[in-house]
Copies of this chain bind each other. A is one copy, B any other.
Amino acid sequence: MRAALSERSGRRRRSDVPEATVARLPVYLRALHVLADGGSSTVSSEALAAAAGVGSAKLRKDLSYLGSYGTRGVGYDVAELVLHVSAALGLGRRWPVVLVGVGNLGHALAGYGGFDERGFCVVGLFDVDPARVGERVGEQVVRHLDELDDVVHSARASIGVITTPASAAQDVCDRLVAAGITSVLNFAPALLQVPAGVDVRKVDLSNELQILSFHEHRKAARALTGVPA
């Protein structure tokens, strides 16, 4: 059960970083890499914040959740901060990732170089379509979904990516969880039901477009009725 929530104190523990902050850490990390490649050895919160597209106060507060790694009067050491942020994100190791659903999007993700660069390596591609099983994609060969357990166990994978149609997503998710996956990145437009202890993040391309559509619609309406300051 949930022994983890035994301590219900209102105070925030040191290792307890707010979710909004966690979501920005990858952005900071990328900005830091750019700065490092550009030759900077130190950077002020102001400069880093600008590079990351946030306010400097927010950035300092975010980083303060990880510890006090800045030097007053100087700024942050870029290389050192990269290490600390990476450590906080758990990027000190390579994360094996399995991907289920080798359709259009699955192909694209399997071939996306950005994953390997950032410490994620695809250790298995799966599908149920016999026409796709055996196909070679990048450095992997598409396996049948039945082999999922073997691969997850032997590679000790804990992260799974779902790029199936919505109708198959929940079933695939169940099989991933059964195999031992505890973090799921879901591209299928479906709400996934998972047991406690399993994290799910959803990326829905249509949703994003519809949100843009909302604002676009509003802009058009605003333009018709005269533009108030």
Contact = CB atoms under 8 A, between A and B. Distances in A.
B214 A159 contact: no
Contacts of A209: 95, 97, 115, 118, 120, 159, 185
What is the copy number of this chain in the assembly?
A: 2
Contacts of A111: 104
A28 B25 CA distance: 30
Interface of A: 3-4, 15, 17, 22-23, 25-27, 29-31, 51-53, 88-91, 95, 97, 104-105, 107-109, 111-112, 114-115, 117-120, 158-159, 182-185, 189, 191, 197, 199, 201, 203-222, 227-229
Given A203-B205, A213-B89, A216-B90, A105 B112 contact: yes
Contact of A210 (B26, B210, B212, B219): B26
A86 to B, nearest CB: 9
A201 B227 CA distance: 24
Contact of A182 (B31, B112, B216): B216
B118 A112 contact: no
